[in-house]
Structure 1
């Protein structure tokens, strides 16, 4: 119930239920108390509760993961990495803790640690697909496209419709210049997962590589319809609309995007271009002037 505490009434009800918890010195009690405090914006009390949880059981992977999440909110990446690593080391190979630690290390650019985690996964549990996926991602990052595709066969041999694997396969084929095959792979993936904006965005990129702007626009319209805050899709859709002579369709979504991300130079450029295509030259000049002031080094 603590996870659902949002309104004042919910929060008070969750607190009341927490006080009825039978084992108030158990890790699960401290974790629930920390979650409730965090939901209420009381980080100090949340930290204290997690420290009590770890005192009760220093080998609780869930407590270390929760502490890492809290440090993530505080943007203390060093502490996040340490807590996530402790959680991963204490958790089974097939666990959310291992996956989250790999994702964190990927995000901070520690390819060596991601490789260590993924290799351990594939050795300990060869049928556990995330390990193979991460090794393929690493090969892709190193521009070893054929090696990455070969690694992905370990994924597709066990699950031909693995979402992350299909997405990566499409990226790899595009990187190799095989736009037609990439499009075919991503079309099949889109049929299997019809409501995933990322797949539609990747499919749109494949359509563009195949010089099919109309299909790209349809895919991007669907992506943005599902998730209006998908910035990459909003920007690419604006660029496609501008390139195909639909400047009017660029202005509202790109203006909204720049309100959220004022330093996004590519959005400013396409907006200025759209204004220019509509003979609104003063508006175009104003966008470019404002962008020059925001990003003088670009």
Structure 2
């Protein structure tokens, strides 16, 4: 059982029992028989004669998607929406095509509009929640799914996504309460994964590793399980095994953001800069503007000798994220290399101030480590 409740999303097909012409009848028959090449050709013939044929537009896009030609399917759906801007099937199929291409922000944009127009569209709601979850918009996931969870507390897909968002927000008690229907099912991969996430949040890395190792053994194809297993391996010092776990996750789900980012970090450490940069570009498509991704790109630019490029990225980054201490540290280094001592001194002073403030907070904080959850690397 896939708890996310959306692994079985399929593209909608508007097959008519009584096709209006021979081309459409031939296309739908081929489509139903799985002969996608014939179906695509026949749908195009139909649209050549009647460009406004809604059934042919929807089914052509669906057939192209089944062939894996999502880019062409997106063109078809967009052309259909120009004629039928309020058609929910076209909108949902367009979002699904973006989703299956790994273009999560584009899928989310379409789904936000569809959800606003049709808030009772369950498939759109669940897919939007998944997109928000992948983009790290955990509070938005909670806002979207909390009402649905109250109405349907035993829906495991809703419980899983909502509970995951709550755990990421460090709302562990609420998250475990929402996830109770999954825990009740006994020793499952889903339950082990979620307990592993809780232990990661509490900085119990050996305990998290034990839970996540068992989760992988129970179901190695469970979404995100390899990514979290990789994170636990990183935290316990086994970077080689961590990289392997991240690669396993990406083989199943290329849009998993933590797996992309953390694998790129490990590749950077191994000085495999070109491969790391390619993966960082993919991560940035999943979460545009992400501070962590931009920082890693700047660091790689610096070590590759592209100092001015690194400077530009870091200056923009500290403007957008003024409390990002590592970015200030690296920017100071960049300025000194560029012989801009005054600017470097300014950045160093900012870092010194931030260190002093952090020491003051630590002095006032509780000493019991179990009360101080870690800063999660998978926001």
Q: Which residue of the partner structure matches residue 117 of structure 1?
A: 178
CA shift at 1:201, angstroms? 1.6
Report the CA distance shift for 1:283/1:147 in structure 2 as closer, same or farther (over 3 A).
closer
Q: Which residue of the partner structure matches residue 279 of structure 1?
A: 339
Q: Which residue of the partner structure matches residue 131 of structure 1?
A: 191
CA shift at 1:238, angstroms? 2.0
Q: Secondary structure at the match of 1:274?
A: helix
The reply to whether residue 247 of structure 1 matches residue 303 of structure 2 is no
Q: Secondary structure at the match of 2:326?
A: helix
Q: Distance in 2 between matches of 1:285 and 1:146?
A: 40
Whether the 8 Å contact between 1:255 and 1:271 is mirrored in structure 2 is yes
The reply to whether residue 165 of structure 1 matches residue 221 of structure 2 is no
CA shift at 1:121, angstroms? 0.5
The reply to whether residue 102 of structure 1 matches residue 175 of structure 2 is no
Per-residue deviation, residues 63-98 of structure 1 (Å, max 9, x unmatched): x99xx9xxxxxxxx8xx9798545224326444431
Q: Which residue of the partner structure matches residue 220 of structure 1?
A: 276
Report the CA distance shift for 1:252/1:266 in structure 2 as closer, same or farther (over 3 A).
same
Whether the 8 Å contact between 2:267 and 2:276 is mirrored in structure 1 is no
Q: Secondary structure at the match of 1:114?
A: helix
CA shift at 1:174, angstroms? 1.7
CA shift at 1:148, angstroms? 2.5
Q: Distance in 2 between matches of 1:103 and 1:202?
A: 19
RMSD value, Cα: 4.9
CA shift at 1:187, angstroms? 3.7
Whether the 8 Å contact between 1:196 and 1:223 is mirrored in structure 2 is no
Q: Which residue of the partner structure matches residue 295 of structure 2?
A: 235
CA shift at 1:137, angstroms? 0.6
Whether the 8 Å contact between 1:118 and 1:132 is mirrored in structure 2 is no
The reply to whether residue 14 of structure 1 matches residue 86 of structure 2 is yes
CA shift at 1:195, angstroms? 5.6
Q: Distance in 1 between matches of 2:153 and 2:230?
A: 31
Per-residue deviation, residues 238-276 of structure 1 (Å, max 9, x unmatched): 234435655334122223323433443332332231121
Flag structure 2 segments of 5+ consecutive residues without an equivalent.
1-80, 88-111, 130-138, 359-379
Report the CA distance shift for 1:179/1:279 in structure 2 as closer, same or farther (over 3 A).
same
Q: How does 1:1-298 map to 2 (within 5 A)?
A: 13-14=85-86, 39=113, 84-91=145-152, 93-124=154-185, 127=188, 129-194=189-254, 196-207=256-267, 211-212=269-270, 214-215=271-272, 217-228=273-284, 229=288, 230-242=290-302, 246-285=306-345
TM-score by length of 1: 0.60
Q: Distance in 2 between matches of 1:240 and 1:87?
A: 44
Q: Secondary structure at the match of 1:109?
A: coil
Flag structure 1 segments of 5+ consecutive residues without an equivalent.
1-8, 16-37, 54-59, 69-76
Report the CA distance shift for 1:271/1:140 in structure 2 as closer, same or farther (over 3 A).
same
Q: Secondary structure at the match of 1:268?
A: helix
The answer to which structure, 1 or 2, has the higher relative contact order (CA under 8 A, 6+ apart) is: 2
How many residues were matched structurally?
249
Report the CA distance shift for 1:224/1:255 in structure 2 as closer, same or farther (over 3 A).
farther
Report the CA distance shift for 1:100/1:160 in structure 2 as closer, same or farther (over 3 A).
closer
Q: Distance in 2 between matches of 1:232 and 1:102?
A: 24
CA shift at 1:166, angstroms? 0.9
